[in-house]
Amino acid sequence: MIWTIIGALAATLTMFSFVPQIFRSLRTRSVKDVSPVTLFQLSAGVCLWMIYGIARGDPIIIFANAVTLVTLLILIFLYFKYGKIGQ
């Protein structure tokens, strides 16, 4: 039971870790401090974690990484929209 709670808390923190950066990028219309390499590397890692969760049948791992991937994809979109590539 305690491990499920710890896993759920860890998942929640991870899922929403990029939300402040998303709001900041939307507010400032700037992504100058965002590293595209980090975004793509973390997205690949999150996809692998999701595959691992599917293989293990672990809904916490699957859901947490799916939500994290969505936030990363939003930030990648903002990077192209507000970054040098999008100008």
What would the mean pLDDT of 12-18 be, rounded to a whole number?
91
Note the pTM of the prediction, 2 decimals.
0.83
Domains of the chain: 2-86 (1.20.1280.290)
Dist CA 9 CA 39 (whole Å): 23
DSSP letters for 37-79:
HHHHHHHHHHHHHHHHHHHHT-HHHHHHHHHHHHHHHHHHHHH
Residue 62 has pLDDT above 60, yes or no: yes
Residue 7: the pLDDT is: 85
What would the mean pLDDT of 31-44 be, rounded to a whole number?
92
Residue 19 has pLDDT above 80, yes or no: yes
